[in-house]
Amino acid sequence: MNGGTMLGAMRSVLARDLMLAGRRPVDVVTALFFFVIVVSLFPLGIGPEGQILHAIAPGVVWVAALLASMLSLTRLFEADFVDGTLEQMILAPQPLSLIVLGKVSAHWLVTGAPLVLMSPLLGLQFGLSGEALMILALALLLGTPALSFIGALGAALTVGLRGGGALLALLILPLCVPVLIFGAGAVDAAATGMETGAHLSLLGAFLVMALCFGPWVTAAALRIALD
Amino acid sequence: MAVNWFKYSSPPAFYPLAGRLIPWFAAAAAVLALIGIYVGLVVAPTDYQQGDSYRIIFIHVPAAWMSMFIYLVMAVYAGIGLIFNTRLSGYMARALAPTGAMFTFIALWTGALWGRPTWGAWWVWDARLTSELILLFLYLGYISLYAAIDDPRRAARASGLLALIGAVNVPIIYFSVKWWNTLHQGASISLTKAPTMAATMLTGMMIMAVAAWCYTIAVALMRVRCEILEREVHSEWAAEQLAREAR
């Protein structure tokens, strides 16, 4: 087996998942609208005072992004598990971790990337400055793929289980704490005029770590699930 | 004489050994806890800053130590189970989890009770408190995942993997929470600048810690015996054992 066919397997999984998502655009839009609605609920609950909203904006947007990326995770392996595709992927000669990498990339492109693009608009509603908006999008760009990788791990552990959604959140949310802290911290620092480099570097470090180990551990979890 | 350590990695051999060990550890836990409470409540001097409220330390600190240590032991058992594919390690990891969660809860609860008179608040978003809370969530996630999977083999392996991931993440979570805390300049309370402790206080705390240790071993062994019988009920020896105990 040469490198070409291994990457080819990853690319075809990516293309297949993107095509499947394209056939059912409602699923994609649901997660995005969930994100927008949750963020918009906070001013209604807290009150329209600009000062408070400005202070809580980074945290609110980040927590909403975290929840929105949880929302679609249950579907990551479920359909493939039900119709037996997942079993074929495990049996395939190509490494399972690369196939997982393809699936997670597709998941991020479909659910994570729209959040990144939408976030500056939501930040604007909370009165964030131009620089803070840019950092918000940048932090989400680094952080949401890491969330997708961590979430894929939970999805693999809970595939085929009853009540997978709530269980998945219980397993995964504690592991997402570091990403949340530095993601929201970067925006907070930008909004108060402080240096953001450290936060963004740490987010990047999390992403690199999730990228290296995530697909590998997720593949192990899938093997356990379908043993 | 060569000792075959692997003998006891088989559930039928381990079951009676665990049964013989439980009374010893349970008795040691009870005796040590009584001594520890006596030393803590009667012998140890009153603290000149905190008065008598500091005495909760004799429960709080051992509970906090055990909460972290048990998670580590659980992860080691889970790792052994995943690598060598031994059944017993999975049972042991599962048997330790509820005790670990209990100690985490006790550490948080007694911390709140201690925090009220000393800091004037039940809860502060201090790095240690927050990471202890997240540790409780990790325990609950492990227990729920194990409970959600019907197939016992898959349950042990999947939750074992989760325990390992959690163990890798605990230091990351601890340091991120610590940095988050210092960046936000939250409560300006330092837990690390504790006044030097009187020797009797330290003795009491150590005795209580050993008592907590013995208690954990006794309870985990009891739980693992139940787990073994439940999982191995289809085998001949377990059925015989059950029939003998039912009599």
Per-residue model confidence as pLDDT tens digits over B126-151 = 777 888 888 999 999 999 998 888 88
User: In this complex, is the C-beta atom of B166 within 8 Å of any C-beta atom belonging to chain A?
Assistant: yes
Parse chain A into domains and list their residue ranges.
3-225
- HSE toward the beta carbon, residue B17, CA cutoff 13 A: 10
Q: Alpha-carbon distance B17 to B20, whole Å?
A: 5
The confidence score (pLDDT) of residue B142 equals: 92
B165 shares contact with chain A (CB less than 8 Å): yes
Q: What is the C-alpha separation between B112 and B122, in angstroms, rounded?
A: 5
Q: If contacts are CB pairs under 8 Å, which of residues 9-28 in chain A contact chain B?
A: none
Give the residue with greater pLDDT, A212 vs B53. Answer: A212
pLDDT tens for each residue of A24-69:
888 788 888 999 999 989 888 888 887 888 888 888 999 999 998 8
Task: Please check whether residue B144 is in contact with residue B161, taking contact to mean a CB–CB distance below 8 angstroms.
Answer: no
Q: Does A153 reach chain B within 8 Å, measured CB to CB?
A: yes
Confidence of residue B197 (pLDDT cuts 50, 70, 90): low
Residues B121, B124, B128, CA angle at the centre, nearest 5°?
130
pLDDT-derived band of residue B189, with 50, 70 and 90 as boundaries? very low
Are B151 and B100 in contact by the 8 Å Cβ rule? The answer is no
| Poorest-pLDDT segment among A83-87, B28-32, B75-79, B113-117 | B113-117
- Using CA atoms of A193, A199, A204, A207 in order, give the dihedral in degrees to the nearest 10: -120
Average pLDDT over residues B10-16: 81
Q: Which residues of A touch B158 (CB under 8 A)?
A: 157, 221, 224-225
pLDDT at B5: 65
Q: What is the pLDDT of residues A172-183, one digit of tens each?
A: 998 888 899 888
**What's residue B59's pLDDT?**
87
Cβ-based neighbours of A85, under 8 Å, separated by 6 or more: A79
Cβ neighbours of A95 (radius 10 Å): 16
Average pLDDT taken over every residue of chain B: 82
CB contact under 8 A, A167 and B180: no
Of A106-110, A186-190, B191-195, the range with the lowest mean pLDDT is B191-195
What ipTM was estimated for this complex? 0.85
Q: Does A194 touch chain B (CB under 8 A)?
A: no
Contacts of B16 (CB under 8 A, 6+ apart): none
Contacts of B182 in chain A (CB under 8 A): none
DSSP secondary structure letters along chain A:
--HHHHHHHHHHHHHHHHHHHHH-HHHHHHHHHHHHHHHHHHHHHH-S-HHHHHHHHHHHHHHHHHHHHHHTTTHHHHHHHHTTHHHHHHHSSS-HHHHHHHHHHHHIIIIIHHHHHHHHHHHHHTT--HHHHHHHHHHHHHHHHHHHHHHHHHHHHTTT-TTHHHHHHHHHGGGGHHHHHHHHHHHHHHHTT---HHHHHHHHHHHHHHHHHHHHHHHHHHHHHT-
Q: Which residues pair with B18 in a beta bridge?
A: none
Please write the tens of the pLDDT for every residue from B159-187: 999 999 988 888 887 777 777 766 554 44
Instruction: Report yes or no: B178 at the A interface, CB cutoff 8 Å.
Output: no
Give residue B183's pLDDT: 59
